[in-house]
Amino acid sequence: MKYFPYIFFFIFTISCEQEELPISPHQTGDILVQQIEMLQDYRYQVFYNLENNEIVSENLKTDWDLGFENTPNGFHIVLNSSTYSGLSYIENQQFDDVISSNNLVWSWDNPDGSLDSTAFGDYRLLSGFFVIDRGFDFQGSQRGFKKLKIDSVNSQFYMITYSNLDNSELNTFQINKDNSYRYSCFSFSEDTIIDIEPLLIEWDLIFTQYTHLFSDTTQPSYLVTGVLSNNLNIAIDTNNNFNDITYEMIGDYYFKNNNDMVGYTWKEYDLNAGEYTVFSNINYIIQNNNNKYYKLHFIDFYNNLGEKGYPKFEIQEL
């Protein structure tokens, strides 16, 4: 028994030493540069992966019209806001009535990605149908109108009926759900589902035009060029230089998961100079779906030929 105090002291000493072992510093990645090719008329939507610093896929923004939520309980439908598509609800008329696009009241999806703020809303509570303004192509030409009614939605598929406003080209189509993707994208031009979004786990940001909503101007909506996210947590830092932002500062930031947190305001068009200015002092702190953090800021909007539509940015894993 006379050795017990020494044994206790030895064990206690080891425990203290283990707790005081130094923690390895967090390893940051290299500063990488990426440039996205949307082209001068912003015709391309470009999906980007932060972790691999790579372009996952791209498509013409006119390749699709509607996105259908893929979760089993999902029912939401989104517009292709990159073409400035709008939606009007029609009631007290029959679907097979000939409809005029004149004097209709239009609404648009909120670009923050909130499914409670889509133009379609909870259509399951409604008895009418919709008119879709398909917006504009990348040359500025109107893409026309369609009538649409959602016949049913369940855990496996949607059933829709659509036609031109004069009832020509009447079609019924079943859209199957696949929750490997955020939305199943449908094209009126092709009368079928089109591969647009990559797998849900493969992309983080999309460089695209989209419809921005204004609450304090006479024009309620406007087509802008910027970046939307795949429901990521993002913070904005305009106080620190890009090179000075570290992993240890993450706890000081306020993150939001609005899809338009990066948005379009990292640049501004100068009417006098006739060109865009990029605000490289705006830094975005982004958490991807693997809980890794990145800092990103834009450094240019032009390619080496001086053509706009080529956003260039620096990115680094924290």
Count of all residues that appear for the chain in the document: 318
Q: How confident is the model at residue 10 (pLDDT cuts 50, 70, 90)?
A: very low
Helix (H, G, I), strand (E, B) or coil at 43: coil
Question: What confidence tens digit (pLDDT) does each residue in 119-165 have?
Answer: 999 999 999 999 999 999 999 999 999 999 999 999 999 999 999 99
* Confidence (pLDDT) at 26: 72
Q: Evaluate if residue 175 carries a pLDDT over 50.
A: yes
Which pLDDT tens digit goes with each residue over 108-130? 999 999 999 999 999 999 999 99
Q: Given pLDDT bands bounded at 50, 70 and 90, which one contains residue 3?
A: very low
Q: Check if the beta carbon of residue 227 is closer than 8 Å to that of residue 262.
A: yes
The 10s digit of each residue's pLDDT in 68-79 is: 999 999 999 999
Contacts of 315 (CB under 8 A, 6+ apart): 31, 32, 33, 34, 50, 53, 294, 295, 296
The pLDDT assigned to 23 comes to: 42
Say what the pTM is.
Answer: 0.90
Distances (CA, A) of 296 to 161, 182, 241, 304, 307: 43, 24, 11, 21, 22
Name 236's Cβ contacts closer than 8 Å, sequence gap at least 6.
Answer: 261, 282, 283, 284, 285
Evaluate if residue 14 carries a pLDDT over 50: no
- Count of CB atoms within 10 A of residue 76's CB? 20
Residue 283 pLDDT: 98
How many whole angstroms separate alpha carbon 137 and alpha carbon 223? Answer: 12
Largest pairwise CA distance in the chain: 102
Q: How confident is the model at residue 300 (pLDDT cuts 50, 70, 90)?
A: very high
Residue with tokens 């999906």: 47
d(CA 243, CA 179): 38
Min mean pLDDT across 166-175, 180-189, 231-240, 265-274 is at: 265-274
Amino acid at 220: P
Contacts of 131 (CB under 8 A, 6+ apart): 87, 88, 90, 99, 101, 104, 145, 146, 147, 148, 165
Does the pLDDT of residue 20 top 60, yes or no? Answer: no
Residue 226 has pLDDT above 70, yes or no: yes
pLDDT of residue 216: 63
CA 296 – CA 242 distance, rounded (Å): 8
